[in-house]
Amino acid sequence: MFHTIQADFYRLFRSKGFWITEILFIITLLLGVLYGVVGSIGVHTDTKAFEKLGDNGGWTGFEAITKTSDNLSNTIIFIIILVVLLIGIDLTQKLYKNSITSGISRAEFYLSKFLVLATLIVLQLILTYSSFLPATLINGMGTAPKHFLSNFLITIGVQFICTLAWVSLVSFVLYATNSIIAAIFTYFVGVSLLSLPTAFYPDIDWLKYLNMQFYFDMVSKQDMVFKTIIIALLITLLFTFSGLQVFKRKDL
């Protein structure tokens, strides 16, 4: 399995699609640093975070941290592109046959992809928050929010779990349909659909966290942290297990 993981990283890092994706992602981060330009998909459960997304002007270092956090959907979209590059091409071109016929089990193949994607999420989150550096150099460091370090670490941890949940869901769609288009639209449609129950049943608090979006300002509310983690973990487990079962039944 180690060699499969190694081969995936080697192939990914030699792919033009990977580097084009990363360059475009860096450009979106720099647009925020220089001009305060951001985009967002879905419904924010924290209205203060949503209002801050509308601020104009370049960001200071600490503003870059909080505002890129408020724009998690942008990071997830680019990670989904990496999911397609890693899994989608394997499935559509049936490249997975080579690994399975060489002796690796389907479960090991599936787990290796999961571990590679988990690593890519970590790297992408690091890249996201590295916007602190150019923002500090251009606009200054700014003022750190209270309890910044602890809140920042919690934010990264919860965002990792939320992103992993979305990656598990998108991966399941890929394994089930072999359709790259379906996988890409899963997030765009899913984040909107999962936000709808809140509109119809606003009194059911747990429904607010179904869209698995988490922002820096939510850390101060412990119930938000707990409920977001629980829902994201349940979705991760559900679709990781379901995706594995689908892949085990897939014809070579």
Per-domain residue ranges for the chain?
2-248
* Owner of token pair 């995706």: 243
pLDDT of residue 115: 96
What pLDDT does residue 125 have? 96
pTM for this entry: 0.88
What pLDDT does 252 receive?
64
Q: What angle do CA 46, 146, 55 make, to 5 degrees?
A: 45
Q: Would you state the pLDDT for residue 45?
A: 46
Q: Dihedrals φ, ψ of 178, to 5°?
A: 60, 20
Question: What does the pLDDT look like over 159-182, one tens digit per residue?
Answer: 999 999 999 999 999 999 988 899
Instruction: Please tell me the distance from the alpha carbon of residue 47 to that of residue 17, in angstroms, as a whole number.
Output: 35
Could you write out the three-class secondary structure of 122-180?
HHHHHHHHCCHHHHHHHHCCCCCCCCHHHHHHHHHHHHHHHHHHHHHHHHHHHHHHCCH
CA angle, 203 as apex, 198 and 206 as ends, to 5°?
A: 60
For residue 188, the model assigns a pLDDT of: 87
* Residues of the chain scoring pLDDT < 70: 37-57, 252
- Encode 6-32: b = buried (16+ Cβ within 10 Å), e = exposed: eebeeebeeeeebeebbeebbebbeeb
What is the predicted pLDDT for the residue at 54? 46
93 class by beta-carbon count within 10 Å (0-12 exposed, 13-18 middle, 19+ buried): exposed
DSSP structure class, residue 5:
H
- Give how far Cα 113 sits from Cα of 7, 101, 142, 167, 171, Å: 11, 17, 40, 11, 10
Q: What pLDDT score was predicted for residue 166?
A: 95
How high is the pLDDT of residue 39? 54
